[in-house]
Chain A
Amino acid sequence: MSEVSRSVEDDERIVGPALRTEIRGWRSRSGPDLHDLMRRADHSWRHPIMVFSGAGVAALALLLLAAIMFVAMAPPGPAAEIIRERLLAP
């Protein structure tokens, strides 16, 4: 047990200071920009993931609607009858 804790302490002694020195050297070049922040906060809905998700949902809804219309309004024929029976049967 003591060997394990000593090993963890050794790890921390070696890694900790190097980590602190490295991270302290990281500084944002653009720095805080309140104007840009307000713009982002106001236009968050324009985030690509939200736009893509919205477009995807709309496309699926349209596809479903078109499929329903196709089934409902398909010209009479043996194939259309079978499809209509299978899809509209309770």
Chain B
Amino acid sequence: MASCVMTVRDEQASLAKDKSREGWLDPATQFPLLYEQEYQSVYRTVRAIVLDAQEAEDLTQDCFARAYRAREKYQPTAPPSAWLHRIAVNTAISHLRRRKLARFLPIKTELGSDDRRLVQAEARGAVEEALAELSPKLRAAVVLQYFHDCSREEIAQILGIPSGTVASRIAKAMAQMRKRMGPDPEARA
């Protein structure tokens, strides 16, 4: 009896899952469509992490190239957009790590010149300035929460951290950004 109940429940859960997956594009068979649909969204996430428009363009393409190569490995436990954003966050953070490392190397890589970054830093607005004060992981959490309206659980899944950590990271980021952008001019100084 118990097993029968479990079976019915399992079936119901499975049906509910199938229903929630309606409209999800399958990366293995519908990759070009997914690419068109998610491109700008992924670009914005990457740009919020690297804070450089030109690098973000390049990294967004890299992210989709990685996703394309891994398209057969996608598991429909989360929407494909969450899967793409996870790849995007990892791509952008790895890039920033390499960029940091490249400063210590005497060779020139294609990671962008310091002059260009200096010009970009000067052209930043208040929001970008405030974002620049945060660590890349905090920037990722902020953009996923406040722009993509992801839930704490979704963010936790994308960043691969516990949801409690997401909440504390976001609260920390908000406090830092408010200090920078708040209406109180003394707080900005």
Answer whether residue A88 sits at the interface, using C-beta atoms and an 8 A cutoff.
no
In the complex, which range does the number of interface residues on chain B fall in? 35 or more
Residue of B35, B60, B61, B178 touching A15 (CB-CB under 8 A): B178
Answer whether residue B162 sits at the interface, using C-beta atoms and an 8 A cutoff.
no
B contact patch SS: helix
B69 contacts which chain A residues (CB < 8 A)? 41, 44
A23-B48, A48-B110 known; A18 vs B181 contact (CB < 8 Å): yes
Q: Let me know if B98 and A11 touch, CB within 8 A.
A: no
Q: Let me know if A37 and B68 touch, CB within 8 A.
A: yes
Mark each residue of chain B from 31 to 70: 1 if its CB lies under 8 Å from any CB of chain A, else 0: 0100110011001100110000100110011101110110
A15-B181, A18-B181, A20-B146 known; A48 vs B174 contact (CB < 8 Å): no
Q: Let me know if B56 and A22 touch, CB within 8 A.
A: no
A14 contacts which chain B residues (CB < 8 A)? 178, 181-183
Give A15 to B36 CA distance when docked, in angstroms. 30
In the complex, which range does the number of interface residues on chain A fall in? 20 to 34
Answer whether residue B78 sits at the interface, using C-beta atoms and an 8 A cutoff.
no
Answer whether residue A3 sits at the interface, using C-beta atoms and an 8 A cutoff.
no
A14-B181, A14-B183, A34-B32 known; A22 vs B65 contact (CB < 8 Å): no
Residue of A23, A26, A36 touching B61 (CB-CB under 8 A): A36
A contact patch SS: helix
Q: List 23 A-B contacts (CB under 8 A).
A: A7-B175, A8-B175, A11-B174, A11-B178, A15-B130, A15-B177, A15-B181, A18-B126, A18-B181, A19-B147, A20-B146, A23-B44, A23-B143, A23-B146, A23-B147, A26-B43, A26-B47, A28-B40, A28-B57, A28-B60, A34-B32, A40-B61, A44-B66
Seen from chain B, the residues whose Cβ lies within 8 Å of a Cβ on chain A are: 32, 35-36, 39-40, 43-44, 47-48, 53, 56-57, 60-62, 64-66, 68-69, 98, 109-110, 125-128, 130, 142-143, 146-147, 171, 174-175, 177-178, 181-183
